[in-house]
Amino acid sequence: MSMHLHAWLLACAMLVAPVPAAVSQAPPSAQGGVVLLDIKGGIGPATRDYVRSGLHRAAQANAAAVVLRIDTPGGLDAATRDINQAILASDVPVIGWVAPSGARAASAGTYILYACHLAAMAPATSLGAATPVSMGGSGFGPEEPQRGPDDARQPGQEAQKKEEGAGEPHSAMERKAINDAGAYLRSLAELRGRNARFADAAVHDAATLTAMQAHAQGVVEIVADDIGSLLKQADGRTVRLARGDVVLHVERRAVTVQAPDWRARLLAVLTEPTVAYLLLLIGLYGLVFEGYNPGAILPGMVGVICLLLAAYGLQVLPVNYAGVALIVIGVALIALEVAMPSIGAAGIGGVVSLLAGSLILFDTDVPGFGVPGALIAGIGVTSALAFMGMLWLAARARRRPVVTGVEELVGNLAVATRDFAGRGQVRIRGEEWQAQSDRPVHRGESVRVLAIDGLVLRVVPERGDLT
């Protein structure tokens, strides 16, 4: 009996013992698939939230890697740095991929690509031109500095140009912004073991590289024309995460494209500068119409909602609040001109203020974060035409005959209620009036009112023979 008991215990131990070993040595297949996020267009608050949310979901799903497919002309500095912080802190390897062919990772896209654990580009793509284009470093855009015909530089020649004093920013604020951006991109290059020399040239000289040049100069690790080739070349590489080195096992993994959720799409719409600008105008004009028609409710309700949505969108955009103030003043002056038509001074001032505020509303030169000039011109022309239309209506109203009050009786016909020569009585508009005529008037005869003298109508008989 004792021997049987020992045998059972031994068998149970043999069955249970391998279990902990199997759990601690989870094979790569225990990881999930690959998550694909698209960064397309100008990088702003909506892009930042989309990437953050995508990295968080990928970590929750235990994804093997996240691929950022990049095609951007640039973006806002704050949003770019927030994205990079999320990448640097990610528990999931992030592969930056400039794709498809013809895409670019200009300016802010270059910073994001340098921050990724693995950098890749598709053929016929480019990156670089990372010079800040706004004062104070409020954004990155692919703006090429002014150069002469003999000033074509290769990466690494910026030191010589600095000694000569050419190509340097003129103001202290520009120097601070460019030096800060250069140090930031260089630190990312050093962290990922990439070409720091090109990082300096991209910021100080707006240098750019094609995919093949970037690969040859150690700026990116992979050149791949499709997602399958990208994952195949990335498989087996070691990347360094915050928690340590990780070997990528991504070949033949299922790729899931994560589209922006409704909140990200709504934020993308509201933070579109053109939409925020139009919401601001609609909100202001809605309140103006409600003021002219108290109790209409609909214009006021629409105006308040649009103003709140515009405020939400503008508070995350690089807004010049002097521009907002000028727009508000412009709409107020146009409304004042409508309420109290004058010679047009208020209306002209309102149109000028509205246009000036629209032009300086967004305090950045970053591509995709400004109001199109055609839209501003259209708003200005429409406001000017509306203003001129109001002036025309006011002038036309002044030329019209009076249709209310006592003065409206002049020129109308009245009927004599009795015979009289000199002073008598006539009926007009159902009322009895004293009348004065230089000619005899017979009862029932029609007379024309020539003028009003106090409470007496001066009339003349309306018969054919006035002699």
Q: Cα 453 from chain centroid?
A: 66
Q: Report the mean per-residue pLDDT for the chain.
A: 79
pLDDT at 85 over 70: yes
**For position 146, what pLDDT does the model report?**
37
Distance between CA atoms of residues 422 and 424, nearest Å: 7
**For position 341, what pLDDT does the model report?**
62
**For position 134, what pLDDT does the model report?**
53
The mean-pLDDT minimum among 57-61, 177-181, 460-464 falls in 460-464
Angle at 372 between CA 371 and CA 373, to 5 degrees: 115
Distance between CA atoms of residues 46 and 40, nearest Å: 11
Measured in residues, the chain has a length of 467
Distance between CA atoms of residues 306 and 309, nearest Å: 5
Contact (CB, 8 A) for 47 and 266: no
The mean-pLDDT minimum among 78-92, 179-193, 312-326 falls in 312-326
Average pLDDT on 205-215 reads 93
Distance between CA atoms of residues 204 and 167, nearest Å: 9
Q: Which two tokens stand for residue 233?
A: 């070349």
**For position 267, what pLDDT does the model report?**
80
**For position 404, what pLDDT does the model report?**
53
Which residue in 262, 267, 219, 207 sits closest to 113, CA to CA?
219
165-201 as b/e: b if 16+ CB within 10 A: eebebeeeebeebbeebbebbbebbeebebbbbbbbb
Distance between CA atoms of residues 198 and 217, nearest Å: 8
Q: Which of 77-86, 156-165, 353-362 has the highest mean pLDDT?
A: 77-86
Average pLDDT on 297-324 reads 86
In this predicted model, which residue has the larger pLDDT, 320 or 235? 235
pLDDT at 464 over 80: no
406-461 to CATH, choices 2.40.50.140, 3.40.605.10, 3.30.1330.60, 3.40.50.970:
2.40.50.140
**For position 367, what pLDDT does the model report?**
60
pLDDT per residue over 11-40, tens digit each? 444 333 333 333 223 344 446 899 999 999
**For position 335, what pLDDT does the model report?**
79
Average pLDDT on 117-141 reads 78
pLDDT at 218 over 90: yes
Distance between CA atoms of residues 214 and 86, nearest Å: 24
pLDDT band at 259 (very low <50, low <70, confident <90, very high): confident
pLDDT per residue over 409-429, tens digit each? 788 889 998 888 888 999 988
**What kind of fold does domain 28-147+157-263 have according to CATH?**
2-enoyl-CoA Hydratase; Chain A, domain 1 (3.90.226)
Average pLDDT on 45-62 reads 92
pLDDT per residue over 318-349, tens digit each? 788 888 899 999 888 887 877 776 666 777 88
Per-domain boundaries in the chain: 28-147+157-263, 276-399, 406-461
In this predicted model, which residue has the larger pLDDT, 99 or 164? 99
Side by side, which strands form the sheet with 104-106?
104-106, 126-128, 208-210
pLDDT band at 365 (very low <50, low <70, confident <90, very high): low
Distance between CA atoms of residues 311 and 313, nearest Å: 5
**For position 91, what pLDDT does the model report?**
92
**For position 364, what pLDDT does the model report?**
62
Residue 198: what residue type? F
Q: Which of 121-135, 232-246, 316-330, 452-466 has the highest mean pLDDT?
A: 232-246
pLDDT band at 116 (very low <50, low <70, confident <90, very high): very high
Contacts of 325 (CB under 8 A, 6+ apart): 357
Q: Please, which contacts does 230-235 make with residues 24 or more away whose CB atoms are closer than 8 Å?
A: 230/67, 230/95, 230/97, 230/120, 231/34, 231/65, 231/255, 233/120, 234/65, 234/95, 234/118, 234/120
pLDDT at 431 over 50: yes
